[in-house]
């Protein structure tokens, strides 16, 4: 996909993805760029319904394959209705999670065969791949504590409005309820993808002030844009 700009943000729970997507959008908009903020799972009404199903702690046990197929059903709709049209119109798409999250959660940590992941990716995403992926790297215990604090803020009406309706009584979705060891696997998985695809992925230390992280994100995006223009 040539026109437009497609950047994804990846990382564990509470790493700061939603925060950094918002801050980067503000910065790009200040430079006159037309920005679309979106997220996965989700981004379209159908995909948001799939999100609610996938994240609900009360959903019945199912296999990593059934889960991956749901993610790709949502992703197909999202790419077709939002991402491709925005790219074709020359807009900048900032997506909070994308295929790397499926690879990490369902394949690396969830056991889905890598060949099946690759086949789904080829079938559904094809050339609609992000040209830049920012991986926010953070000790999962710190990230989960942030996510917990976000829930308390949201419950008291001070949060960023991102409280999940698809959560348990304590406000945690199905992934947030997993043991720390699972979250450690996710972290290692994202770092493995970054090592495998250094041209697309940049790892940023997320264990700093949001403003410091944002400054590094901006520097990475700015360099990317300059490289692309040159
Ligand atoms: N760099 C940071 N340092 C401390 N808290 C942060 C930082 N970035 C975000 N937060 C806060 O941590 C919580 C989780 O951040 P969020 O951006 O929602 O993470 P994610 O989308 O990766 O789950 C939010 O309450 C947010 O305000
Ligand atoms: Mg988020």
Sorted by where each starts, the structural domains of the chain and their CATH numbers stand as 5-229 (3.40.50.300)
The pLDDT of residue 3 is 72
pLDDT tier at 165, thresholds 50, 70, 90: very low
The pLDDT of residue 78 is 98
The pLDDT of residue 190 is 98
Residue of the nearest CA to atom 8 in ligand 1? 16
Pocket test for ligand 1, best of 19, 98, 141 (most atoms within 8 A of CB): 19
**What residues does ligand 1 touch, defined as CB less than 6 Å away?**
11, 13-19, 146-147, 149-150, 153, 160, 162, 208-210, 213
Mean pLDDT value of segment 59-69? 93
Using the predicted structure, report yes or no on whether residue 137 has a pLDDT greater than 60: yes
Computed over every residue of the chain, the mean pLDDT equals 93
The pLDDT of residue 230 is 84
Other C-beta atoms lying within 10 Å of the C-beta of residue 74: 24
Q: What angle do CA 155, 135, 200 make, to 5 degrees?
A: 145
Using the predicted structure, report yes or no on whether residue 221 has a pLDDT greater than 60: yes
- Segment 92-111, tens digit of pLDDT: 999 999 999 999 999 999 99
The pLDDT of residue 168 is 61
Using the predicted structure, report yes or no on whether residue 159 has a pLDDT greater than 60: no
Could you give the count of Cα atoms lying within 13 Å of 73 in the half-sphere of its Cβ? 15
* CB-based burial, 90-122: b 16+ in 10 Å, e otherwise: ebbbbbbbbbbbbbbbbbbbbebeeeebeebbe
pTM beyond cutoff 0.85: yes
pLDDT tier at 169, thresholds 50, 70, 90: low
Is 197 within 8 Å of 116 (Cβ atoms)? no
- What's the 147 CA to ligand 1 centre distance in angstroms? 7
Pocket test for ligand 1, best of 146, 167, 172, 206 (most atoms within 8 A of CB): 146
d(CA 211, CA 175): 27
- What's the 16 CA to ligand 2 centre distance in angstroms? 7
Using the predicted structure, report yes or no on whether residue 162 has a pLDDT greater than 60: no
- Segment 9-53, tens digit of pLDDT: 999 999 999 999 999 999 999 999 999 999 999 999 999 999 999
């Amino acid at each position: 996909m040539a026109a437009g700009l497609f950047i994804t943000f990846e990382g564990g729970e509470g790493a700061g993805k939603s925060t950094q997507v918002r801050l980067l959008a503000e910065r790009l908009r200040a430079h006159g760029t037309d920005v679309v903020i979106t997220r996965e799972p989700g981004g379209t009404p159908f995909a948001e319904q799939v999100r609610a199903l996938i994240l609900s702690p009360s959903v019945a046990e199912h296999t990593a394959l059934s889960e991956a197929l749901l993610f790709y059903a949502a992703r197909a709709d999202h790419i077709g209705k939002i991402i491709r049209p925005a790219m074709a119109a020359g807009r900048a798409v900032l997506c909070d999670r994308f295929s790397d999250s499926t690879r990490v959660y369902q394949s690396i940590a969830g056991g889905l065969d890598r060949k099946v992941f690759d086949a789904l990716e080829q079938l559904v995403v094809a050339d609609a791949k992000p040209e830049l992926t920012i991986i926010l790297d953070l000790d999962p215990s710190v990230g989960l504590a942030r996510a917990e604090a976000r829930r308390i803020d949201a419950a008291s009406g001070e949060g960023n409005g991102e409280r999940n309706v698809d959560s348990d009584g304590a406000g945690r979705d199905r992934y947030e309820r997993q043991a720390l060891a699972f979250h450690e696997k996710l972290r290692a998985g994202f770092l493995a993808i970054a090592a495998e695809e250094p041209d697309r992925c940049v790892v940023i230390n997320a264990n700093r002030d949001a403003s410091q992280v944002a400054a590094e994100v901006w520097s990475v995006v700015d360099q990317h844009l300059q490289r692309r223009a040159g």
